[in-house]
Amino acid sequence: MQSWPLQQRVARFDCLLLAQAQQAAACNASHSAQARVCRWLLELRDRCDSDVVPLTQNFLAHMVGVQRTTVTLVAGRLQALGIIRCRRGKVRVLDAAKLEHFTCECYSRMKNLRESLWGTRAQEQAIAVPPVALHPERAGNGGAHAHASKLPQ
């Protein structure tokens, strides 16, 4: 890589990825299923930049390291409190502040690290490099989306 800004972004991404893996392992070993479910829902909400997260309870159970029935119980409690609403394959976060109240400190720790290394979502979007700038040969062939499904060779 010859682009210094790109090298910096890749290095920050590597650091963040390693920190997330370490934090997730520590969290899974130390915190309750409810706290971990809440953490995952908030992290996915942040990454999707939406209150509606495409997610099955089975997938969430796998990511949290519990049985699906445990996620069903936790989700039922959160729904009863008006914090989330579950529908087939989707979870809607109704009250992120209350959801954060039920999570462990791992969520805020990782959010702060992510923002310090990567910036906020608004900052990230403001400095994003358009795909055409990365692949100028695509500009004449319908723009960046013309070959979006093909992997670079």
Question: What does each of the 153 residues of the chain score in pLDDT, given as a tens digit?
Answer: 578 888 888 888 888 888 888 888 899 889 999 999 999 999 999 988 999 999 999 999 999 999 999 999 999 999 999 999 999 899 999 999 999 999 999 999 989 888 888 776 555 555 554 444 444 454 444 444 333 333 333
| 133 within some domain | no
| 31 within some domain | yes
Domain range for 105 is 4-119
| 49 within some domain | yes
CATH no. for residue 112? Answer: 1.10.10.10
| 141 within some domain | no
Instruction: Enter the tokens of residue 110.
Output: 């990782």
| 140 within some domain | no
What pLDDT is stored for residue 38 in this prediction? 96
| 143 within some domain | no
| 150 within some domain | no
Crossing angle of helices 105-118 and 4-30, rounded to 10°: 180
Query: What pTM did the predictor assign?
Result: 0.71
What pLDDT is stored for residue 151 in this prediction? 35
Sort 19 into a burial class: Cβ within 10 Å, 0-12 / 13-18 / 19+. middle
CB within 8 Å of 78: residues ≥ 6 apart: 37, 38, 84, 99, 102
**How many independent structural domains does the chain possess?**
1
| 125 within some domain | no
